[in-house]
């Protein structure tokens, strides 16, 4: 049976940066790396990325304290190379191409563009994806 782990990460952010990262999804692969402090005070990720595993579930936890939120992530440890991240490490995730790359589904599509306004409206772009059907 796969081993599970839980991370609770404090996120301190500026409202100008957009807040909590909302692109995390179930199935994303998580990694950790060491942090080094540069002479200018900036912290940078260094060394080889270490795989943690796949995100099983997660929850954003809002606090009453301004500019401080938490995210609780439950993950399934990678059976081959996975390791729990030590405290103070840089944690990031990688999106699954199988889940996040879309293509045509179905056989055909019919679209109608309509304008219910009394004023002139300009359409800037419309696009479609066409794939040859199987023979």
User: Is residue 124, in this structure, part of any structural domain at all?
Assistant: no
Decide if 122 is inside a domain: no
In a domain? residue 22: yes
For residue 63, the enclosing domain spans 4-99
Q: Does 76 map to a domain?
A: yes
Mean pLDDT, residues 34-54: 88
Q: Classify residue 118: in a domain, yes or no.
A: no
Average pLDDT over residues 112-135: 78
Give the model's pLDDT for residue 135: 53
* pLDDT 10s digits, 53-112: 998 888 877 766 666 677 788 888 888 888 888 888 888 888 877 666 666 666 667 788
Give the position of tokens 């579930």.
57
């500026």: which residue's tokens?
14
**Domains held by the chain: number:** 1
So what's the pLDDT on residue 111? 82
Residue 117 lies in a domain: no
Q: pLDDT confidence of 33, banded at 50, 70, 90?
A: very high
Q: What share of the chain is helix, strand, coil (3-state, %, to 5)?
A: 5, 40, 55
- Flag whether 113 is in a domain: no
Q: Tell me, yes or no, whether 62 lies in a domain.
A: yes
Q: Is the dihedral of CA 104, 105, 107, 108 positive or negative?
A: negative
**Least confident range of 2-11, 28-37, 116-125:** 2-11
Specify whether the CB–CB gap between 60 and 71 falls below 8 A: yes
The per-residue pLDDT of the chain, averaged, comes to: 78
Q: Are 54 and 30 in contact (CB under 8 A)?
A: yes
């Amino acid at each position: 049976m796969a081993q599970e782990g839980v991370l609770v990460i404090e996120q301190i952010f500026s409202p100008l940066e957009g807040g909590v990262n909302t692109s995390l999804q179930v199935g994303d692969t998580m990694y950790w790396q060491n942090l080094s402090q540069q002479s200018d005070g900036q912290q940078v990720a260094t060394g080889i990325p270490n795989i943690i595993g796949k995100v099983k579930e997660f929850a954003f936890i809002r606090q009453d304290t301004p500019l401080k939120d938490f995210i609780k992530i439950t993950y399934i440890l990678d059976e081959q190379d996975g390791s729990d991240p030590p405290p103070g490490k840089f944690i990031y995730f990688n999106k699954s191409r199988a889940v996040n790359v879309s293509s045509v589904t179905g056989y055909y599509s019919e679209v109608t563009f309509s304008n219910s306004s009394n004023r002139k409206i300009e359409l800037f772009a419309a696009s479609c994806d066409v794939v040859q059907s199987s023979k």
